[in-house]
Amino acid sequence: MSEHRGVWAYSENKDLMLELLGKGSRLAGKLQTQLTAVMLGHDIKKQVKELIGYGAHKVIVVDNPQLKVFHVEPYLSALTQLTKQHKPELFLMGSTKRGKELAARLAARLNAGCVSDCLELKVDEQGRLLAERIVYGGNAIVTQVFRTKPQIVTIPRRRFEKLKYTEESKGEVVDISDVQLEVAKTEIVKVKPIEIAETRIEEAEVVIGGGRGLEKKEDFKILDELAQILGGQVGYTRPLVEDRKWFTEWVGLSGHTIKPKLYIACGISGVIQHVAGIRDSKIIAAINRDPEAPIMEMADYIVIGDLYEIVPALSEALRKLLASS
């Protein structure tokens, strides 16, 4: 166990990878060890410098035509060989859907532990890593420790900040492109990209949330108008996406976790799984006609009323006030 050294980071998502490096470099400092970035793909060597500039002391590159498109098995076999050979003590992986599958399967192959969707990672006085995550649908936060190494954790988008880019940073580059990779067991027959909002919802400073209180899809326009005035974005609850198929992304436990400065929940009941995704918002306002809705317990400012009256009025009031100031 003691032979495991070093913090590693890997995500197939570029932005998330830089965030993992940000958190990883702080953890590596605490653990007095090095931070290694793992790069998998094809024709990727140009990106090595960027990872070093964002905090990696070392980059392990596997540049291989078999890794051109993301298929789990070749990626997984590369990661398995690397971790078996180099034995990191901590492996930070991105909590995308692809990443979660990869991490769980890597953990299975290494007979290792894995903590999914970590919201916080700390090193205690004894040098133990404490991993925190949401459980019981958002009712609680669990703190977990590992009994074995490597310790594998997955981390969602926008949880941690990336470091400032430093052009002059130097780092070691290890090229292990010459590995045997497993062939994929599944075949991709079709890929249909989904439209992703220009600014990601996690990045918006103001989010206007719409729930089943919206009667028709077009009515999102009144929320969008308010969002425009505040320079923010509109987000939704899961039923608007899954049941009504109006939109493609939602906020909450199984969707995006956001921490805007202001969240305005419109026609949202505030069931625990939704609340899990908005808990860290600085200010929460709620507009709902039901005074008993659970969102009332989670809000700083509460309006009991019809969103179809309140939201347009709020847009108008803000427009006036902001124009005069």
Partner 1 sequence: MVRILVCVKQAIDVSQLKVDSATRRLIIADAPKKISDFDKNALEEAIRIKEKLGGEVLTVTTGPEDAKTTLREALAMGADKAYLINDSIFENSDTLATSYVLAEAIKKIGAFDIILCGEASIDSFSAQIGPRLAERLGIPLITYARKLSLEGDTVTAERGLEDCSETVRAKMPVLVTVTKEINEPRTPSYMAIMKAFKKEIVIWKAADLNIPSEKVGEAGSAVQVLDVLAPKVERKKIVIKGETAMEIAEKLAKTLIQEGIIVR
Ligand X SMILES: Cc1cc2nc3c(=O)[nH]c(=O)nc-3n(C[C@H](O)[C@H](O)[C@H](O)COP(=O)(O)OP(=O)(O)OC[C@H]3O[C@@H](n4cnc5c(N)ncnc54)[C@H](O)[C@@H]3O)c2cc1C
| Chain positions contacting ligand X, by CB under 6 A | 211-213, 237-239, 250-255, 267-269, 271, 273-274, 277, 287-290, 293, 306-308
String of DSSP letters for 275-305:
HTTTTT-SEEEEEES-TT-GGGGG-SEEEES
Q: Which is nearer to partner 1, 4 or 45 (CB)?
A: 4
Element (H, E) at 210: strand 206-210
Instruction: Give dist(CA 246, CA 65) in Å, integer.
Output: 38
CB of 233 to partner 1, least distance (A): 14
Residues 166-185 that bind partner 1 (CB under 8 A): 185
Residue 8: phi and psi, rounded to 5, are: -115, 155
CB of 134 to partner 1, least distance (A): 7
CB of 71 to partner 1, least distance (A): 9
Return the one option of partner 1, ligand X, none that residue 304 interacts with (CB less than 5 to 8 A, by type). partner 1
Residues 199-238 that bind partner 1 (CB under 8 A): 205-206, 230-231
Return the one option of ligand X, partner 1, none that residue 139 interacts with (CB less than 5 to 8 A, by type). partner 1
Query: Looking at 23-31, 44-52, 212-220, 268-276, which segment touches partner 1 (CB under 8 A)?
Result: 268-276
Residues 292-321 that bind partner 1 (CB under 8 A): 296-306, 309-310, 313-314, 316-318, 321
Residues 7-46 that bind partner 1 (CB under 8 A): none
CB of 23 to ligand X, least distance (A): 23
Angle at 148 between CA 143 and CA 154, to 5 degrees: 55
Of 229, 233, 259, the residue nearest 158 (C-alpha): 259
Cβ atoms within 10 A of the Cβ of 124, count? 11
Q: Which is nearer to ligand X, 171 or 252 (CB)?
A: 252
Q: Which is nearer to ligand X, 25 or 288 (CB)?
A: 288
Amino acid at 108: A
Cα 305 to its chain centre, rounded Å, is 34
* Beta pairing class for 58-63 and 262-266: unpaired
CB of 243 to partner 1, least distance (A): 8
Cβ atoms within 10 A of the Cβ of 95, count? 23
